[in-house]
Amino acid sequence: MSSKIQRVEFRTSDSRILREMLKKAGYITAKLTPLAGPLHHPSQAALRRFMTGTMQEAST
């Protein structure tokens, strides 16, 4: 079984935001949503980069 591996760059703050979103979503990536409050816009950007990197294979 083969798979494509792609490196996606995240800032340290993105990692913290992604951990919070994953915890909120019960560690199910399909349920990830941006955080509320002051982290809404940074979490939207981090989520977009994350989903682009992890879900890219599905679109090809």
Please report whether residue 16 resides in a domain: yes
Please report whether residue 33 resides in a domain: no
Specify the pTM. Answer: 0.69
Amino acid at 5: I
Please report whether residue 51 resides in a domain: yes
Tell me the per-residue pLDDT of 16-37, one tens digit each, with 9 for 90 and over.
999 999 999 999 988 999 999 9
Residue 35's contacts (CB-CB under 8 Å, 6 or more residues apart) are 17, 20, 21, 24, 43
Q: What is the span of the domain harbouring residue 16? A: 11-26+39-55
Please report whether residue 5 resides in a domain: no
User: How many domains is the chain built from?
Assistant: 1
Strands, DSSP E only, in the chain?
none
Confidence label for 4 from pLDDT (cuts 50, 70 and 90):
low
Could you give the CA distance from residue 40 to residue 55 in angstroms, rounded to a whole number?
21
Please report whether residue 22 resides in a domain: yes
